[in-house]
């Protein structure tokens, strides 16, 4: 039985609405998929930007640290050069003081020279200059320069010819030393007991 015109028109409206709803749902799904894709791309881009920023920060931090270290090295080298130029003057001053005749040891001018020496050493000490321990120590090629060997305890520093110094823990001049060769000084000719030399009396 054929449908009434109104019923047919109503059905057509429903069919059209259903088709529109399906089309709208499809468009919504496509739009959601597009948004999710854009979101993923934006997230990926943000992660790449963050990684790039972190690398830039690390590079800048390394650069700044390197520049500070280079500046410190330049300053240390400049100080070391200046100190090395001053050390011979200190050597001469100490040598002069150590050879002052006994009769002049109490003189005022000698006390003045000793005061200059103390001030000189105090200034160097404040700049991080320290003397190297040598006399009586085991020979250390990292700190000592052996100029010869003589009779004495093997491997021990038995005399210091020239003081060595460090600057802030870094060696700037080794100690020039004489090292024992292991031979006993008592074995030298003429050191035997006089009674034994005379046959015991």
Q: How far apart are CA 143 and CA 114, in angstroms?
A: 27
Q: How far apart are CA 201 and CA 196, in angstroms?
A: 8
Q: Using an 8 Å Cβ cutoff, are 149 and 178 in contact? A: yes
Q: Which residues pair with 170 in a beta bridge?
A: 167
Helix (H/G/I), strand (E/B), else coil: 127:
coil
Domain ranges within the chain, ordered by starting residue: 7-98, 130-190
Residue 102: which residues within 8 A CB-CB, separation 6 or more? none
What per-residue confidence (pLDDT) applies to 163?
94
Q: Using an 8 Å Cβ cutoff, are 174 and 144 in contact? A: yes
What per-residue confidence (pLDDT) applies to 35?
86
Mean pLDDT (10-residue bins), the chain, 201 residues: 58 60 68 86 88 86 84 78 92 91 87 92 93 94 94 93 93 95 69 49 41
Q: How far apart are CA 172 and CA 175, in angstroms?
A: 10
Q: How far apart are CA 53 and CA 58, in angstroms?
A: 9
Q: How far is CA 140 from CA 79, 133, 148, 160, 195, in A?
A: 25, 10, 14, 13, 41
CATH number of the structural domain 130-190: 2.30.22.10
Question: How many other CB atoms are found less than 10 A from the CB of residue 27?
Answer: 10
Q: What angle do CA 154, 158, 163 make, to 5 degrees?
A: 130
pTM over the 0.85 mark: no
Q: How far apart are CA 12 and CA 7, in angstroms?
A: 9
CA 155 to chain centre: 31
């Amino acid at each position: 039985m054929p449908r009434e015109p109104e019923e047919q028109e109503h059905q057509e409206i429903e069919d059209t609405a259903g088709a529109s709803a399906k089309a709208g749902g499809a468009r919504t799904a496509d739009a959601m998929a597009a948004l999710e894709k854009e979101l993923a791309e934006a997230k990926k881009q943000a992660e790449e930007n963050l990684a790039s920023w972190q690398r830039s920060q690390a590079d800048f931090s390394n650069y700044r640290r390197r520049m500070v270290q280079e500046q410190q090295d330049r300053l240390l080298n400049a100080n070391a050069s200046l100190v090395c130029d001053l050390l011979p003057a200190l050597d001469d001053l100490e040598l002069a003081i150590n050879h002052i005749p006994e009769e002049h040891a109490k003189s005022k001018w000698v006390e003045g020279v000793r005061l200059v020496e103390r001030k000189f050493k105090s200034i160097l000490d404040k700049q991080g200059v320290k003397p190297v321990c040598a006399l009586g120590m085991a020979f250390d090629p990292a700190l000592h320069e052996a100029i010869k060997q003589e009779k004495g305890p093997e491997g021990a520093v038995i005399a210091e010819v020239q003081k060595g110094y460090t600057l802030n823990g870094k060696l700037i001049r080794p100690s020039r030393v004489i090292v024992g060769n292991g031979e006993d000084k008592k074995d030298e000719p003429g050191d035997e007991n006089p009674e034994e030399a005379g046959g015991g009396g």
